[in-house]
Amino acid sequence: MLPVFSLFRKKTTLADGTFSMLGTDMHSHLVPGIDDGAKDLQGSLELIRQLSRLGFRKIITTPHIRPEYFPNTRDTILPGFENLRNAVAQEVPGVELAVAAEYFVDFEFMEYLEKEALLTFSGSRVLIETSTIAAPPNFQDIIFQLRLSGYQPVLAHPERYLHMDLKTFTKLKELGCEFQVNLMSLSGHYGSKVKKHADLIIRNGLVNYFGTDCHNLHHTQVLTEIAHEARLVKKILDCQPQNSDLELT
């Protein structure tokens, strides 16, 4: 049996105010001025400094691609990203950056998939999201088609889709979809229903990765609070997330 003092010591090392146990983040909006994330280069650098303080050494940033709101393409994403990466090499040493995208999946996504080579991370992974109101009726077909096309779909924040139940989540996993839960869902940042939905996904062992989905400095503040909460840090560790297996290419 462990002496009492070592139990206390374990507790304090668990929540050291960082997510160094994850090391890699694969969901954020840091390319300046092209979506609802960082507005300019200085803002972007400040967010990356904060994420570095939070223990992230590798950051795969994922600008929105959603035709009617954020009509991004490789041509809007890649030059801004290269500029950011050069600035980070100078200003925030010790952090490595890569870029992919967060694709909004609607009914028309199948057509998009036929026309475009998608921006991927860590091999063939593609980060996707859908509406928080309802998924398109062909959502499962789209997952199947992504797999058939050689992509590994990763569903961003499944806990935010209150229209999906455990049966749907299980089906998506069976189709080969990976799940990325937002760290901020654990503290109730998106509301108590989303928090409960995150717990459902966690309890059923469906989490592959945690992500920050960082858009702004309010988010890094919320993330800092979570990183100091031993109960939440334990919850993250118990999921055995695979963030550190992710590669930047």
Nearest to 155 by CA among 126, 184, 175, 183: 126
Stretch that binds Fe ion, among 44-52, 86-94, 212-220, 221-229 (CB under 5 A): 212-220
Residue from 25, 102, 106, 178 in contact with Fe ion (CB under 5 A): 102
Q: Are 146 and 153 in contact (CB under 8 A)?
A: yes
* d(C-alpha 147, C-alpha 45), whole Å: 35
Residues listed for the chain: 249
Output 159 or 213, the one with its CB closest to Fe ion.
213
- Helix, strand, coil % over all residues of the chain, rounded to 5: 45, 15, 40
Here the tokens at position 21 are 């146990």
Size of the site for Fe ion (CB under 5 A): 2
Stretch that binds Fe ion, among 90-98, 165-173, 188-196, 208-216 (CB under 5 A): 208-216
Quick one: angle between helices 230-238 and 4-14, nearest 10?
80
Output 156 or 164, the one with its CB closest to Fe ion.
156
- Under the binding rule (CB under 5 A), the answer on residue 35 touching Fe ion is no
Q: What are phi and psi of 202, to 5 degrees?
A: -65, -50
216: left (phi over 0), alpha (psi -120 to 50) or beta: beta
Output 102 or 106, the one with its CB closest to Fe ion.
102
Output 93 or 243, the one with its CB closest to Fe ion.
243
Stretch that binds Fe ion, among 2-10, 99-107, 131-139, 171-179 (CB under 5 A): 99-107
Q: What are phi and psi of 11, to 5 degrees?
A: -60, -40
- Under the binding rule (CB under 5 A), the answer on residue 159 touching Fe ion is no
Output 25 or 102, the one with its CB closest to Fe ion.
102
Q: Is 165 helix (H, G, I), strand (E, B) or coil?
A: coil
Q: Give the nearest residue (CB) to Fe ion.
A: 213
- Under the binding rule (CB under 5 A), the answer on residue 213 touching Fe ion is yes
Output 25 or 213, the one with its CB closest to Fe ion.
213
Residue numbers at the binding site for Fe ion (CB under 5 A): 102, 213
